[in-house]
Structure 1
Amino acid sequence: MKSLKGKVAIVTGGSRGIGKGVALGLGELGAIVYVTGRTETGEGLPDFLKDTNIYKTAEEITGLGGVGIPYKCDHAKDEEVELLFKKVVEKEGRIDILVNNAWGGGAHVMGGYFFNTPFWQQPVSLLEDQYTVGLRSNYVASKFAAEVMTKQKQGLIINISFFGGRRYWNNVAYGVCKAAVDKLSADTAHELKDYGVSVFSLYPGNVSTEGMLEYAKYDKGIDIEKMESPQFIGRCIAALATDEKAIKDTGKILIAAEVAKAYDVIDIDGKQPESLRQQLW
């Protein structure tokens, strides 16, 4: 793939998980990556997440040859998001890539009701939090990114989504929000295409996040070796960011493993994961 040296990216929710992997995947090609999130220390986090924060991610980006810049931002607060984009433009003069990854459902996963519980027995806050950070936050960040990218006549916006947007997955609120993210990608792509700005929903496969690695310790049925690394998702986005012809498919839902095959992207273990389209689409 071509270098991303000099390109400016914003990755929301980059403290850990897929967001961190995306940031690393862009950073290893030399990009300037603003890592946003609320986590600055391990306070209040379970032990397996104690070492995850925006500063750690930024440090690893720089170690890979990119430029990692930590930026504390609560994506539930519009004024903080607006200030983020203002400061990035003031310092860098441009924004080339936005990856909307921040998700407000994390606190609910450990609540005992996220899985295998009918919607009428779940708190309404499950929908509200995923909507606020995961859908509305994507809209707001895309708005501020579009204001910059349309003037540049160039840019890439990726909304991290999942197969739950097309079939039942986890719970009703999760699926509703993911389906809405996919529609957001399609419609913003429609309005931005003439300005040279591409927008995609990207579906990862099964990803070996910190949480999944921890869970696998207690469930021997989980095969980490068959999963995609978080950094693999970043490499797939980097491939799209270096392809000037990618805009021909703008607005589509892309599956990371299929992007990898199209661009000959390999994971950090040297493998190329299989698409889950047949099982989950």
Structure 2
Amino acid sequence: MKPLQGKIAVVTGASRGAGRGIAYQLGSAGATVYVTGRSVKGSTTDNRPETIEETADGVTLRGGKGIAIQCDHTRSSDVRKLFERIGREQGRIDILVNSVFGGSERSLPSGDGRHFWERPLEHWEAMMVAGPQAYLLTTRYAVPLMTKHQKGLIVNLTFFIKDQISSNLYYDLAMNAINRMTRGMAKELQEYNVSAIAVCPGWMRTERVIDSGFGPKDGAKETTAYVGRAVLALATDTTVSKFSGETLMVAELAKKYGFTDVDGTQPLPFEG
């Protein structure tokens, strides 16, 4: 029997990138995975080809059950309807992975410079609304499906470089908001036996990164399967509550649990 057989997972932002990689790994362990996002057949973001239907099919092909539901996680009505449906169909959630992010979309205006005062406010809104605010909104509706069963795991995808500002001020604030939010969630959820952990991958070779021409020589050493294996390791650890509230590097988790990336290596954390 697969380790996550019978478990119900939700992976947001799963049309591509880290979300897709995580959904595939949970599916390979036998989970039923609700994959959500805005990109569906005939209507995708940034004119990208990837869709949540493709991700759901990939989950099923790997031995799980993939269910695609279109959802804009910045819209309360969309998120509420998503979890109402899951509540009707499953009655609970075992694993929630927040991995939506709007700050990298090419539709954003470029601005007149790299300083924070030169960046259009749309950058702030994209990173904070389609980032920590979407995480909080999604978790708010998901938690009742965990607390009533006194069990659950929430994973918040994040990014940081120790003792450095990551990328730019807006991005750095968004990621550290997620890290701090995870700690607060963990504290309030402790009495319900629900854990919240922030997981930080390195520079991943996502579809967007590959299409932009970046690869291992540039520092993009990790595949999305690496972060997927990190989440899978946490989801199958019966003592995962010991990490609740922490922000953990994928490379750190690889050492703790002994997994590797698809090429058998254990890439080190991205250092900028």
Band the TM-score falls in, shorter-chain normalisation: over 0.9
Q: With the length of structure 2 as denominator, give the TM-score of the two structures.
A: 0.92
Q: Percent identity?
A: 36
Contact kept in structure 2, 1:199 and 1:250, CA below 8 Å: yes
Partner of 1:87: 85
Quote the Cα distance in structure 1 between the aligned partners of 2:123 and 2:108: 12
Secondary structure class of the residue paired with 1:107: coil
Quote the Cα distance in structure 1 between the aligned partners of 2:145 and 2:25: 23
Contact kept in structure 2, 1:11 and 1:23, CA below 8 Å: yes
Quote the Cα distance in structure 2 between the aligned partners of 1:44 and 1:30: 28
How far apart are residue 275 of structure 1 and its match?
A: 3.3
Partner of 1:242: 236
**Equivalent residue for 1:258, pick from 252, 260, 269:** 252
In the alignment, residue 128 of structure 1 is paired with which amino acid?
A: E
Quote the Cα distance in structure 2 between the aligned partners of 1:86 and 1:259: 33
The count of aligned residue pairs is 272
Contact kept in structure 1, 2:46 and 2:106, CA below 8 Å: no
Partner of 1:267: 261
For residues 115-134 of structure 1, the aligned pairs below 5 Å read 117-134=114-131
Partner of 2:191: 194
For residues 1-281 of structure 1, the aligned pairs below 5 Å read 3-41=3-41, 49-50=48-49, 52-108=50-106, 111-113=109-111, 117-163=114-160, 167-216=164-213, 221-222=217-218, 227-276=221-270, 279=271
Contact kept in structure 1, 2:35 and 2:69, CA below 8 Å: yes
Secondary structure class of the residue paired with 1:208: coil
- The RMSD of aligned alpha carbons is 2.3
Deviations 1:208-257 (A, max 9, x none): 1011112226x895265xx1111221111011011111101210011011
In the alignment, residue 73 of structure 2 is paired with which amino acid?
A: H
Quote the Cα distance in structure 2 between the aligned partners of 1:220 and 1:199: 31
- CA shift in 2, pair 1:2/1:55, >3 Å: closer
Contact kept in structure 1, 2:153 and 2:235, CA below 8 Å: yes
Quote the Cα distance in structure 2 between the aligned partners of 1:141 and 1:30: 24
Deviating 4+ runs (over 6 angstroms): none
Secondary structure class of the residue paired with 1:269: coil
- CA shift in 2, pair 1:220/1:239, >3 Å: closer
Secondary structure class of the residue paired with 1:152: coil
Q: Which moved more, 1:250-259 or 1:139-148?
A: 139-148
Q: Which moved more, 1:81-90 or 1:161-170?
A: 161-170
Q: Which runs of 5+ in 2 are unaligned?
A: none
- CA shift in 2, pair 1:166/1:10, >3 Å: farther
Quote the Cα distance in structure 1 between the aligned partners of 2:235 and 2:183: 18
Q: With the length of structure 1 as denominator, give the TM-score of the two structures.
A: 0.90
Q: Which runs of 5+ in 1 are unaligned?
A: none
Quote the Cα distance in structure 1 between the aligned partners of 2:245 and 2:115: 32
